[in-house]
Amino acid sequence: MNLKNTPIIHMKNALFIALSLPALWIFWQWAMLLLGQPNALGFNPVETTNRFLGDTAIRVLLITLAITPLRDLTRLAVLTRWRRMVGLFAFFYVCLHLSSYLGLDLFFSLAKLWKDIVKRTYITFGMTAFVLLIPLALTSTNKAIRRLGPKRWARLHWLIYPAALLAVLHHYFMAKGFQIMPLVHGVILVFLLTWRVVKWAKKRYLATLPSKRKENII
């Protein structure tokens, strides 16, 4: 079916633009700063940038995880088509977040980065989350799904849950004093993970039943 000019494609384009806005906003603020114009980066632009990109990364990651439950609730199969794009945006923001830290904070010193990974627990968690997301981004193509087979591909993509958990821990251990946002992200993640585990357990249970009983339950 030709999807060109259908509302579904327009909605996907709108979602693409919406997910690009945080990156455009931060680039715009930096352009203003470098041109000596008023901007929203405050007295510590590097910290503001890194935190803004970290917050965006974790939120887009959680949105990616929310797509399947949302599809189950609304029965809108089209949501599945958007999941890959949203997931790649999450990875994009993680990459920008890491780049801003490495470039603006550490002046591209890999030695300093390594020291941080070894010394600071929250950086260890953040870096591990990043590493876990790499195979997911690399296998996000249709070709990779065909090559791995849908079952192995799906199993590999469960890695998004430990990655998200490590990202939440990264945020929690980074925060000085009590901060509500790491807890809010943690609660959302536990809810989304529980949803998937219950769904998976139900599927396994149904697979053990004879088809007559299965029809009655569904």
Task: Please report, as ranges, the residues that interact with ligand HEM according to CB under 6 A.
Answer: 47, 50-51, 54-55, 57-58, 61, 94, 97-98, 101, 123, 126-127, 129-130, 133, 163, 167, 170-171, 174
Cβ proximity to ligand HEM: between 58 and 65 the closer is 58
Shortest separation between residue 11's beta carbon and ligand HEM, angstroms: 26
Q: Where are the alpha helices (DSSP H) in the chain?
A: 7-34, 45-74, 78-100, 110-119, 121-138, 142-148, 150-156, 160-174, 180-208, 211-217
Shortest separation between residue 205's beta carbon and ligand HEM, angstroms: 33
Tokens of 99: 């780049």
Judge contact between 129 and 122, C-beta under 8 A. no
Shortest separation between residue 191's beta carbon and ligand HEM, angstroms: 18
Radius of gyration of the chain (CA): 20
Shortest separation between residue 129's beta carbon and ligand HEM, angstroms: 4
Cβ proximity to ligand HEM: between 153 and 172 the closer is 172
Judge contact between 81 and 12, C-beta under 8 A. yes
Shortest separation between residue 34's beta carbon and ligand HEM, angstroms: 20
Question: Whose structure tokens read 């041109």?
Answer: 35
Cβ proximity to ligand HEM: between 80 and 109 the closer is 109
The SS3 of residue 139 is coil
Shortest separation between residue 185's beta carbon and ligand HEM, angstroms: 7
Cβ proximity to ligand HEM: between 54 and 87 the closer is 54
Cβ proximity to ligand HEM: between 83 and 116 the closer is 116
- Which positions ≥6 away from 196 have C-beta within 8 Å? 68, 69, 161
Cβ proximity to ligand HEM: between 105 and 148 the closer is 105
* Among the listed residues 62, 138, 135, 130, the one whose alpha carbon sits nearest the alpha carbon of residue 96: 130
